[in-house]
Amino acid sequence: MKVHIRYFASLRESVGRAGEEIEFAGDQLSVSGLREHLAAHGVDVLGQTATLRAAVNQVMAGPETAVGDGDEVAFFPPVTGG
Amino acid sequence: MRVSVQTGDFDAGRECARLLEGRSDVGAVASFIGVVRGDGGVETMTLEHYPGMTENALEAIVDEACSRWPAVVGVRVIHRVGELRVGEQIVFVGVAGGHRGEAFAACEFIMDYLKTRAPFWKKEQTAAGSRWVEARDSDDAAAARW
């Protein structure tokens, strides 16, 4: 399956890019599983930052939220708007 | 149109007037304006957002406010992005209702939810360099979900 990854704000700067496309074997994964996979495959900061948030298909997600083929998954720091 | 994310400035007076246009059931309009504060040598602030998700998150917050306060009859939320100088307006929330109680409450609710649930990030620029603003409320709803 293919997943579109996006990074925002300080995380985007730490990772050094705004996003990437990742291909996996299998057809489903959780947000935390995806995060662990990315951390183990070069995106070290995802394993080092405790306070990250995530969204799946532009809706706030938790660690157990399912990620499927074609989904857009974003990782970002806690929001600071307003 | 209830929600806008834009680089340009807004006219709060005009936005409040629009909430009243053509209505006779409004007895109160409560509004909030957030402004770039010059604390700690801040000269400018850059606001980043997640196009698409940000607008949807704001719409969901407005929907939630309207369902909690059914006497609210009009809401307008404008949030600016890009580079803003000290003293510039960042965000506008205007709420029209029958009476002041629901207008005040819904306006404050929308701002509180916006600050913890809408994907915006602030980076401050000072003479010494730039820094990302850290979220202050570690107990917010987003933290609990994550």
Provide DSSP, A10-77: HHHHHHTSSEEEEE-SSSEEEHHHHHHHHHHTT-THHHH-TT-EEEETTEEE-TT-EEETT-EEEEEP
A60 touches chain B (CB under 8 A): yes
Nearest CA in chain B to A51: B143
Domain ranges of chain A: 2-76
CA distance B108 to B113: 9
Name every residue whose Cβ is closer than 8 Å to that of residue B13 and which is 6 or more positions away in sequence.
Answer: none
Assembly ipTM: 0.94
Task: Say whether B50 and A78 touch across the interface (CB within 8 A).
Answer: no
Residue A79 touches partner B, C-beta closer than 8 Å: yes
Share the mean pLDDT of chain B.
92
Comparison of pLDDT for B11 and A47, the residue scoring more: B11
Q: Give me the residues of A, 8-27, that contact B with CB < 8 A.
A: 8-10
Helix (H, G, I), strand (E, B) or coil at B45: strand
pLDDT for A27: 83
- Note which residues in 33-52 of chain B have CB less than 8 A from chain A: 34, 47-50, 52
Torsion of CA A35, A58, A80, A15, to 10 degrees: 40
Beta-carbon contacts of residue B10 (< 8 Å; ≥ 6 apart):
B78, B80, B89, B92
Please write the tens of the pLDDT for every residue from B81-138: 999 999 999 999 999 999 999 999 999 999 999 999 999 999 999 999 999 999 886 4
Q: Model pTM greater than 0.90?
A: yes
Is pLDDT at B79 greater than 80 in this prediction? Answer: yes
B144 to chain A: closest CA residue: A62
Domain A2-76 sits in CATH 3.10.20.30: yes
